[in-house]
Structure 1
């Protein structure tokens, strides 16, 4: 990667400080300015170079740990956000994430769907995130950039290959690019917060036009034809990138929890955290799209099975998922996975499978491994959707503008190495 090539200069500074001092002294005697030095070998100007030199620290093996920073609104967290942070972490050793404040989002994009507290829970719950900075600015100002370099010891600022423009049309990352401390990753295509808002608004329109009593076929057909239908193309490699790639140890206490986990939110993170604390290995069963549609209506799920799988796998408390889990837990399933606890979450779904079939948890109950957990938060997939529906006019206007910019991005995008 090119960032490693750039660091050969700084490694020389660290390991041969006297030689570097001689070079700088000679340059000063010859009348060279720091502005001239900034034009060669990728050197930033002196104000940005000095705090950077002070941040040089060694790992046990003698190499400096690279700290990278990525910011965002992270409203309606989805696997695209998670994949961006996964890519950002791959460019360094420690990932610091800035979460833009509610006020800044309102000023630059319109009202967020999720509160700062909810977004903090979501971002902090991702397995690739090491530190979080709350209430970060939307634009990288000079003062904030200096604080990133000096206080947070940041080496590079990361963003996707899609443009991030301020209301005046200027680049939000212009300063970071100017001082040579900017890195770019590939945007995850096929999903965005704008797209998800569109799905929710489309599901509301679908209900109004078709009604709940017209049956599955007509509504399902309408849903599939929607311009907001998912364009995500799942691959085994992407699942492997999100997976821990490890099974439970021979004596591990395996905890199992199942559900839809649609529109992954802070309530999901908190309940998964609680479930993980009951054992050593957390296995999550994800219901099929058909199962969720049968229980909640054909406009659900908002995220299809593979999208939901990646969102759950990205959570730091999850070790493995079953993609398309059965409703009924059999004795063979319990013995195969060696469950120590099977968890049923109360007060999270707005529906229950127990209403339509014989108790699917009958076996684990008879074996004495059934546990119930109450969600510590009142947020649900339905409540998040209702926030958007309650302010649908605002979000429709915002989406119209955002959809235009996203269309332009797809038309003008160029290949960026990374995935």
Structure 2
């Protein structure tokens, strides 16, 4: 887990020492970023299905990017996720609660939009949108966007975070399916009264 100084050094370099591999600029933080009266307002968004430590570490990076941060997390609804990606395992309310109970989160926006727009930036007074900086394609969007965060990058409001390797919701789902196919859940399913779900 990265130290606070490592997180802030990474952000400082990203803002003040542009990398040729990064095709966007990042605005300097507002002057009040060191003053609790004017925290830096950072927005992160996602599905947060099967909420796990990589999710928490990404939110930790966002929260600790500057000395004083108000972290807002947008969580998309199950209906919206199913329309653009695939249906999550956890319900909308379960995912809202999981994120709300993460220690780094100050505020949760339920039923967040799939793609951030000017309206939400203005409404929430967002200084930065935090996400890892690999292009995130907008599958299912009207324009089939190559990167749904390009809007924020163009405004200098995108704040890169570093991915945690070795765990993801997709990886966890693959592990669950493997365990299921190996009959490792048969006894559990029988115990909770769902013998009919055992793998055959």
The answer to whether TM tops 0.5 is yes
Pick closer, same or farther for the CA change 1:122–1:43 going to 2, 3 Å: closer
Check the 8 A contact 1:68/1:91 in 2, yes or no.
Answer: no
- Equivalent of residue 51 in structure 2, options 66, 70, 77: 77
Matched, 1:157 2:129: yes
User: In the TM superposition, what is the alpha-carbon distance from 1:121 to its structure 2 partner?
Assistant: 0.9
Pick closer, same or farther for the CA change 1:189–1:161 going to 2, 3 Å: farther
Pick closer, same or farther for the CA change 1:5–1:163 going to 2, 3 Å: closer
User: In the TM superposition, what is the alpha-carbon distance from 1:110 to its structure 2 partner?
Assistant: 1.2
Matched, 1:99 2:81: no
SS of equivalent residue, structure 1 residue 207 = coil
User: In the TM superposition, what is the alpha-carbon distance from 1:199 to its structure 2 partner?
Assistant: 1.1
User: In the TM superposition, what is the alpha-carbon distance from 1:99 to its structure 2 partner?
Assistant: 0.6
User: In the TM superposition, what is the alpha-carbon distance from 1:204 to its structure 2 partner?
Assistant: 1.5
Check the 8 A contact 2:15/2:27 in 1, yes or no.
Answer: no
Pick closer, same or farther for the CA change 1:84–1:5 going to 2, 3 Å: closer
Segments of 5+ residues of structure 2 without an aligned counterpart are 1-8, 17-24
Q: Deviations along 1:200-239, whole A, 9 cap, x unmatched? A: 111121119xx97xxxxxxxxxxxxxxxxxxxxxxxxxxx
Check the 8 A contact 2:133/2:160 in 1, yes or no.
Answer: yes
Pick closer, same or farther for the CA change 1:170–1:96 going to 2, 3 Å: same
What residue in structure 1 maps to residue 5 of structure 2?
none
Check the 8 A contact 2:43/2:72 in 1, yes or no.
Answer: yes
SS of equivalent residue, structure 2 residue 102 = coil
Check the 8 A contact 1:98/1:132 in 2, yes or no.
Answer: yes
User: In the TM superposition, what is the alpha-carbon distance from 1:155 to its structure 2 partner?
Assistant: 1.2
What residue in structure 2 maps to residue 144 of structure 1?
120
The CA distance in 2 between the partners of 1:160 and 1:6, in whole Å, is 12
Alignment of 1:253-272 (within 5 A): none
Segments of 5+ residues of structure 1 without an aligned counterpart are 9-40, 45-51, 213-294, 298-349, 352-381, 393-419
Matched, 1:203 2:179: yes
The CA distance in 1 between the partners of 2:38 and 2:14, in whole Å, is 13
What residue in structure 2 maps to residue 88 of structure 1?
62
Q: Deviations along 1:261-289, whole A, 9 cap, x unmatched? A: xxxxxxxxxxxxxxxxxxxxxxxxxxxxx
The CA distance in 1 between the partners of 2:100 and 2:170, in whole Å, is 22
Check the 8 A contact 2:130/2:161 in 1, yes or no.
Answer: yes
What residue in structure 2 maps to residue 304 of structure 1?
none
The CA distance in 2 between the partners of 1:124 and 1:185, in whole Å, is 20
Check the 8 A contact 1:162/1:187 in 2, yes or no.
Answer: no
Check the 8 A contact 1:145/1:176 in 2, yes or no.
Answer: no
Pick closer, same or farther for the CA change 1:111–1:4 going to 2, 3 Å: same
Alignment of 1:52-131 (within 5 A): 59=35, 64-92=38-66, 93-131=69-107
The CA distance in 2 between the partners of 1:191 and 1:3, in whole Å, is 23
When the two structures are aligned, how many residues end up with a matched partner?
175
User: In the TM superposition, what is the alpha-carbon distance from 1:56 to its structure 2 partner?
Assistant: 6.2
Q: Deviations along 1:353-384, whole A, 9 cap, x unmatched? A: xxxxxxxxxxxxxxxxxxxxxxxxxxxxx89x
The CA distance in 2 between the partners of 1:6 and 1:200, in whole Å, is 37
Check the 8 A contact 2:43/2:74 in 1, yes or no.
Answer: yes
Higher helix share: 1
> Greater CA radius of gyration, 1 or 2?
1
Instruction: Calculate the TM-score normalised by the size of structure 1.
Output: 0.36
